[in-house]
Chains A and B, each alone.
Chain A
Amino acid sequence: MVHIKRLQEDGADILAVIGEIDASSSIELDLAIAKSVGEGSKKILVDCSALEYISSAGLGVFMSYIEEFKDKNIHMVLFGMKEKVVNTFQILGLSDLLHISLTKVEAKKLLHELSV
């Protein structure tokens, strides 16, 4: 089960992902990102500090937006991941394709640099 909270800070959408993302709950993540994109957000922060587990389907959701974000000039930074979660991103090589920061401050900074 996953719960996704959305709030806005300094012109960026912050999606806080709470819980576990498996095959079925990955749909919620997809919908949340799609909604954010649909409403015209150019900066998206994903707060993964309360993300306990992510399956390949969940990783697939992040992966599937890479091309689209590139085309639409949207920037997304993930931050606050637990070690186990960040490992799964690293093994798949997704950490090379996505922007991942340790803290929210760093993430905001990175987002700012990217959008300049």
Chain B
Amino acid sequence: MLKLKALTRLTFLGAAVAWLVMVFSDVTVLFSDLKGLTPDVPLWLPRLMLDLYVICIFYYYKFKIERDESLNFTDLLWRVFATGLVATVISLALRLLDFLLGSTRLSSNIFFHDVEYLVNLGLLLSFLVAAYTCWKRLILYQKSKWLLRGWLIFEIALVVVLLSDNFKITLEEWLFTTVTVLTGLLALVLSANMKWVAFLNFRQKWTSLLLLLLSFFYLGYFFYTVTRFSDEISLQSVAFLDFRNHSFNIYLFSFVMLYSIFSFLVILFNLPTSSVFEQKLEEVVNFQRISQSVQTEQNEESVYKILLESSVSSVFADAAWLEIKGEQENHRLQTYQITEADARKIQQHLNGRNVKGILEQSTDKTKNLSQHLSTLKGINYRSIMAFPVSVKGEKIGTLALLKELPEGFNKEMTQIVSAFANQAGISIENFRLLKEAIQNERYKEELKIAKTVQKSLLPDKLEKDPAFDISAFSESADEVGGDYYDTLRINDHQVGLIIADVSGKGTTAAFHMSQMKGIFHSLAQQALEPKDFMVRANQALKYCLERGSFISATYFVIDTQSRTIRYCRAGHCPVLFYQAHEKTAGFLTDKGVALGMVKGKDYDNYIETNSMPWQSGDVMVLFTDGITEAKNGRGDEFGLDLLKATVTELAANNPQEIQDRLIKKLYDYTGTEEIDDDYTTMIVKFH
């Protein structure tokens, strides 16, 4: 930044020095010419200094204006105007001095005139270069490859002209004309770049016109002044620095003038249409407001509000309403400049006339319903158009716009409001998706908690007894299931075992499972007969389970003294029992209704206690239906038969091995580690 500032100052200084040298050398040359002497300075010096001055000024403005990104279009015009103003004020001050001097000797002195002339010329050139720099920015506002190339050629041409003035290159007449015409044409083409005008609003256009008009005045004034001085001096001598001999000056002046005239005319003729452009711009802004409402953490309500406001302002509607068909209690009507009663009156009127249109909700075709309004008494509106607001193809609301003028809406208005309504629908949809996503996230979180709870309900350690070994396994799907197993020592020769499956999934299942655990731990201690255990468990559970929920369970008491098991099955999967001495396995299918199914007192009629002796090497496999219902790729279930065969084959191993290999076989069967149900087994092997 500092460097740029230093450069700006340096160029300014350079310009000042060049100008001073120019003044002195020119006066010297003029003096020498008048006195018929040979000047002490070379004749070409003033010209060279003028070129240097122009180049310095050019870079000065380049650094000052071209690099400043904060300037907008009117700022640029203002820069031109301000430079012109300063230049004019200085020039006028000089003129005042001239006037005050009256007819003294100094005022008629040709050298004094020459200095005055050079001051004015410097000011004019500075103004021209400032304008040139600004015009360059305006022309290159929307760059294209060809535009940049054209501009480069134009600038090179200007530099060539600037330098060629120094060396008296005498071009052939035709070549000179050709180059001039070509450059002129290029300047014309470049001057046609007026895109920036479209971005001015009405007020800015007026300002620009005024600024341009004043700039014309400055140009005219300076041109007149320097021409007058030149004429005056050239009467006495032609050895001075006549700007008219300098084709660069003429070129620059013509170009600045040309673009100013173009701009002025274009702005002038754009004035009547500027409101349209402003309106379009507003529409875009409104469009953005609707589409960005999701990011800015607004709600559906604000989308409706923006939709209503934007639509009204875009089509200059006199009144409007937006009806949102929510849930029964959520039916809303937002109005603008119309009472709800009037809106309903219009709706009823249109409905009453069986108008097929959007308001009637049976069709999606946007229709201008204006013709039907003329028959409505007491309402001033004579134009109406209505649009659906849809979310995922489902109509959630209607937007109606009203005007007092008949035939007040045109096709463009229909299009823009239709676009608004669509965008609003998309925004609403986004809101809902976002809400859903948050809800899902919450649900997942809840499931995670439920799963942790469920895991913690399963025992860390199982009862140990020298007469048998137990091994258990439970793995649940992502959705929390309700599989439960547990063991409890009743006394020194009896151990209670339970396996249960709670119907349903998720948090409720985990909750019922915890109830089951409480029941097991309190009832098993009491050394109850398995049937009594179930009757009491049913009694405890029947009012706790909600409608349609039940728990299937099997309760076992292993007696190591009598070497028997006593058990009661309440709707649970039958136990697989392997008898070692016969090397056969079978399922213990007895009658038994699940817990929670019978609410009456007669539950004991539906269940029974069974007894079974066991011998060394016998294996008992308790499981839940997740195991037998596991499906392979073809959709076939693992099934009881395969379970039986697997256990028979593995029965010689210890329970942990049987379990590991059974589970492995299960995973191999399904072919995936992803399970969609709960796998639970408890395997007991007797010694």
Contact = CB atoms under 8 A, between A and B. Distances in A.
Interface string B580-613: 0000000000011110011110000011000000
B505 interface: yes
Q: B interface, by DSSP: helix, strand, loop or mixed? A: loop
Contact of A92 (B504, B552, B600, B607): B552
Contact of A96 (B504, B548, B606): B606
Given A64-B548, A67-B599, A57 B503 contact: yes
A26 B549 CA distance: 12
Nearest to B551: A56
B574 interface: yes
A51 B600 CA distance: 30
Contacts of B501: 56
Contacts of A57: 503-504, 548
B625 to A, nearest CB: 8
Interface in A78-94: 91-94
B571 interface: yes
Nearest to A55: B503
Interface string A11-44: 0000000000001001000100000000000000
Interface string B260-292: 000000000000000000000000000000000
A57 B505 CA distance: 10
Contacts of B598: 66, 97
B597 A94 contact: yes
A62 to B, nearest CB: 9
Contacts of A60: 503-504, 547-550
Given A60-B548, A64-B547, A91-B573, A96 B593 contact: yes
A64 B550 CA distance: 10
Contacts of A74: none
A4 interface: no
A92 B594 CA distance: 6
A61 B593 contact: no
A63 B548 contact: yes
A91 B573 CA distance: 6
B570 interface: yes
Contact of A93 (B505, B549, B593): B593
Interface string A39-59: 000000000000000001101
A23 B548 CA distance: 11
A60 B546 CA distance: 10
Contacts of A97: 593, 597-598, 606
Nearest to B637: A84
A23 B570 CA distance: 22
A64 B546 CA distance: 9
Contact of A61 (B548, B592, B607): B548
Contacts of B549: 60
B574 A91 contact: yes
Contact of B606 (A23, A26, A63, A93): A93
B574 A56 contact: no
Nearest to A64: B548
A49 B504 CA distance: 25
A59 to B, nearest CB: 8
Contact of B591 (A59, A67, A93): A93
Nearest to A61: B548
A9 to B, nearest CB: 28
Given A64-B548, A91-B571, A93-B571, A56 B503 contact: yes
Contacts of B607: 93
Nearest to B590: A93
25 contacts: A56-B501, A56-B504, A56-B550, A57-B548, A59-B503, A59-B550, A60-B504, A60-B548, A60-B550, A61-B548, A63-B550, A64-B547, A64-B548, A67-B600, A92-B550, A92-B552, A92-B571, A92-B597, A93-B570, A93-B592, A93-B593, A96-B593, A96-B606, A97-B593, A97-B598
Interface of B: 501, 503-505, 547-550, 552, 570-574, 591-594, 597-600, 606-607
Q: Which 4 interchain pairs have the tightest Cβ spacing?
A: A93-B593, A60-B548, A56-B503, A92-B571
Given A63-B550, A93-B607, 6 more contacts: A30-B548, A60-B547, A63-B548, A66-B598, A92-B597, A94-B593
